[in-house]
Structure 1
Amino acid sequence: MRDRFSLTSLSASLVLALTVSATHLRAESMPPGQADQACGSPSSVDDGWEIASPDSVGMDTAQLCTLVARLAQRSTAVHSVVVVRHGKLVFEQYFAGYDQPWGQPDGQYEFAATIRHDMRSVSKSVTSLLVGIAIDRKLIAGVDEPVLKFFPDYASVKQPGWDAITIRHLLTMSSGFKWDEARAWTDPKNDEPRLVTEPDPLGYVLSRPIAAPPDTLWTYSGGSTELLGNIVERVSKQSLEAFAREALFQPLGITDVEWKAYKNGKIAAAAGLRLRPRDAAKIGQLVLSRGQWNGRQVVPADWIAQSITPRFQAVGLFGGTLFYGYQWWMGRSLAGSKEIKWVGAFGWGGQRIFIVPGLDLVMMTTAAQYGQPKEGLAAIDILSNIVIPSVHDAH
């Protein structure tokens, strides 16, 4: 089989040698505790992951070790790559670099297994899981509940047509209220910055006019997720972060978590979550395992199935053929001549959780490709051209 990952002017063996050499050189400047990390060998940090070698789970270690050279070719701003197979952590690599973390100054940062990273809109997928848990606990009757039922205090800002919008419409980004966040952040017509600057972002969202009937127009909307997060807060009578810690993070053994808030103190359900990449990979494993973690049903299996069922063609974002479920993305990669389906959580700047059910595989990346025209393509390149082809069995 032709080696698709070699530099055109070098042999595969030389690329591997350069990769290992680059990894060795990086080790001299790595944070304490990482200097002995050999080509993606996971660190032992007692966070609940079972650690194994790639070869023991049917993956080619040498193939994975071409990662550094691959990234060097493309001059990407990737900060981490974490790979899980058969429920075991088999590969992790961290890279220092520029970042724009929420609430901290822009600049150069070191990254390691024990350092949190912005998840950005991966937060939306996590919020969806929390909605599923709230429904399972009978705090919400179901996805066909009308949204305005939960916001009687905002009756005065209600626009015509809002009575028809349900929780399901918010989950699938098909509510039809007018929203545009595809513009530059500084564009006054971009609705997303209003979630940060408005003293009452919920009021701003609920006052938006209706542009189309529900279920007829897919529009990516952080405002939809903010309403979902606040519904969970209202029915659980606690902050979204507190509910998430008790209902989701604690069962997964995720203890080092932060969920940033807007200026009015409301948790930013659409974009504020900060996790260690290894913990974000647990979210992927949870979905892959139909809501189970270590034998415990954390999220109902039926909710996972509903969430990752394609419901709309996602138009105009991230490129490629993408479908959208309940705040989760669905797509596919071409590895060799084989088409591989995956489920994803996407965050601005290159934050990605990929779940590949057919290969029993999870891959998580963090990056700082904020505002770049090809934002996030490094992650799909790593998945399609390194991680998936490294799998040499069909189990």
Structure 2
Amino acid sequence: MREVGRKFRHLGFAAVVALATSGASAQPREFSTGQRNLACGSPASIGDGWPTATPESVGLDGPRLCGIAARLVATNANVHAVVIVRRGKLVFEQYFPGYDEPWGLGGGRRDFDATTKHDMRSVSKSVISLLVGIAIDRDLIKNADEPVVKFFPDYSAVKSPGWDNITLRHLLTMSSGIQWDENRAWKDPANDEPHLGSDDDPFRYVLSKPIATPPDTMWNYNGGGTELLGNILERVSGKSLDEFAREALFAPLGISDWEWMKYRNEHIASAAGLRLRPRDAAKIGQLVLNKGARAGRQIVSAKWVEQSITPRFQAIGYFGGLFYYGQQWWMGRTLTGDKDVKWIAAVGLGGQRIFIVPELDLVVVTTSGLYSSPRQGQAALDILANFIIPSVRDNNAR
């Protein structure tokens, strides 16, 4: 999904529970509004629709959250943003300079603030899931159990035997059984993922892959399936993926500054190309927390959201531990003191995370630049377990 192998490798999820490290130390920075400098996570007012509040006003311990920056410095974690939303209000945000590899721009040290878009990488997959749900709500797609090949009649001559049994839901849950391997060096000819960006016709490549196991029997991480879903959305809507996403999801959420990048072959990178401001990524999380609704409007059905965040397969390895996978969404739990807290997450290479904690009415977003580190995701889990969840001071969050 990338122009350069190391830069865009997705299966760096393999040891995400180890501690994130980088040569660039994270240093807290202040965000200037022109009137005052906001330190220690006070949200800036930038007119993006977020109501803001203090942590204390929504039952969080502000001083505890103020320890996040020191922790990131002490662990040399290359985290670029931490955004916290509670009870539908933005209550904390901090940004840090550090090494990054923005899509198509090369690696280097960069600054970040509330207005900076960040590569979200495979968080894009979770957004594709929401868009599929919207297409079903609009009767553009009958349901998720429709056969994939129905949408690709022009590829009937190249599909491998067994494809007739694969449904959209199998692609969503990464249980299609397609022979697919992304867990290799980028230049390894057996790595399937580079073909998504380098082949003139990546859909032909995916549809011609043999079926290794019966569908719905084994989970295997597969960005090729997400690419098919993105193209299906284009076919049923009559719009490009970015046009459909703008109209159906981003505009209703008040997200106006975003990009969905293309591969070198000019196909939109459905599985990895989304770039968002962290505050706008938090709107995606809040939408899921609110069961598909925003400001009284049902953007995607509650039924679809529930289906998407219901565990369907154990997913071992991408976080470095035992987690669960739904329809392009991850599920896990964090033990903090005597609290065993379940969460839902959108996960992207390098430390991009949207955590949704329904029982605490909480959304947390982190962005980071550890694209090739086997320890890329620990910083997000560390501050969730040791700072954010322990900062909750009420027992009746929702």
Q: Does the Cα contact within 8 Å between 1:199 and 1:263 map onto a contact in 2?
A: no
The runs of at least 4 aligned residues of structure 1 exceeding 3 Å deviation read: 30-35
Partner of 2:83: 82
Which residue is equivalent to 2:362? 361
For 2:253, the equivalent position in structure 1 comes to: 252
**Structure 1 equivalent of residue 195 of structure 2:** 194
2:52 matched to which residue of 1?
A: 51
Q: CA deviation at 1:188?
A: 2.2
2:319 aligned with 1:318, yes or no?
yes
Contact 2:80 2:369 in 1 (8 A): yes
| 2:23 matched residue in structure 1 | none
Conserved in 2, the CA contact under 8 Å of 1:318 and 1:375? no
Relative to structure 1, the CA distance from residue 128 to residue 33 in structure 2 (aligned partners, 3 Å threshold; closer, same or farther) is: farther
Does residue 1:293 correspond to 2:290, yes or no? no
Match in the other structure for 2:146: 145
Check whether the contact 1:34–1:112 (CA below 8 A) recurs between aligned residues: no
1:352 counterpart residue number? 353
**Do the aligned residues in 1 keep the contact of 2:33 with 2:44 (CA within 8 Å)?**
no
Residues 230, 241 of structure 2: 8 Å contact kept: yes
Comparing 77-86 with 259-268, greater Cα deviation is found at 259-268
Retained in 2: the 8 A contact 1:39–1:93? yes
How much has 1:38 moved relative to structure 2? 1.6
What is the deviation of 1:376?
A: 1.1
| Secondary structure, aligned partner of 1:246 | helix
Residue 267 of structure 1: aligned partner: 268
User: CA offsets per residue over residues 261-290 of structure 1, 9 Å max, x none?
Assistant: 122322111000000000000000000000
AA aligned to 2:49 is G
How much does 1:108 deviate? Answer: 1.3
Q: Is the 8 A contact 1:31 1:110 kept in 2?
A: no
Matched residues in 2 for 1:83 and 1:201: separation? 37
Larger Rg: 1
Tell me how far apart the structure 2 counterparts of residues 359 and 371 of structure 1 sit (CA, whole Å).
32
- The answer for the alignment partner of 1:66 in structure 2 is 67
The Cα shift of 1:103 comes to 1.3
Residue identity matched to 1:282: K
Point out which structure has higher relative CO (alpha carbons under 8 A, 6+ apart).
2
In structure 2, list runs of 5 or more residues that go unmatched.
1-26
Could you tell me which residue of structure 2 aligns to residue 11 of structure 1? none
Q: Does 1:225 align with 2:226?
A: yes
Whole-angstrom distance in 2 between the partners of 1:208 and 1:285:
37
The whole-number CA distance in structure 1 between the counterparts of 2:136 and 2:63 is: 45
TM-score, normalised to structure 2's length?
0.91
Deviation per CA, 1:361-385, whole angstroms, max 9, x where unpaired?
Answer: 0000000111211121111111111
Structure 2 distance, partners of 1:368, 1:186, is 21
Shift of residue 32, structure 1, vs aligned partner = 7.0
Partner AA of 2:120 in structure 1: M
**Other-structure match for 1:335:** 336
Call closer, same or farther: CA 1:368–1:108 in 2, change over 3 Å.
same
Q: Which residue of 2 aligns with 1:380?
A: 381
TM-score (normalised: structure 1): 0.92
Can you give the 5+ residue segments of structure 1 that lack an aligned partner in the other structure?
A: 1-21
Q: Hey, what's the Cα distance between the residues in 2 that align with 1:183 and 1:222?
A: 14
Q: What's the CA shift for 1:321?
A: 2.1
Aligned-pair RMSD on alpha carbons?
A: 1.3
Cα distance, 1:184 vs. partner?
Answer: 2.4
Q: Judge conservation of contact 1:123–1:272 (CA < 8 Å) in 2.
A: yes
| Identity rate, percent | 65
Deviation at 1:155, TM superposition (A): 1.3
CA distance in 1, matches of 2:50, 2:113: 16
Distance 1:198 1:34 in 2: 51
Q: 1:118 matched to which residue of 2?
A: 119
- Residues 146-155 or 177-186, more deviating: 177-186
Query: Per-residue deviation at 1:173?
Result: 0.1
- Post-superposition shift, 1:34? 9.9
| Structure 1 residue 118, shift from structure 2 partner | 0.3
Query: What amino acid is the match of 2:278?
Result: P
Residues 23-48 of structure 1: CA distance to partner in whole angstroms, max 9, x if unpaired? Answer: 5xx44xx6775970120001100000
Whole-angstrom distance in 2 between the partners of 1:387 and 1:219: 32
Displacement after TM superposition at 1:345 (Å): 0.1
1:128 matched to which residue of 2? 129
Please name the residue that 1:98 is paired with: 99
Query: Which amino acid is the alignment partner of residue 73 of structure 2?
Result: A
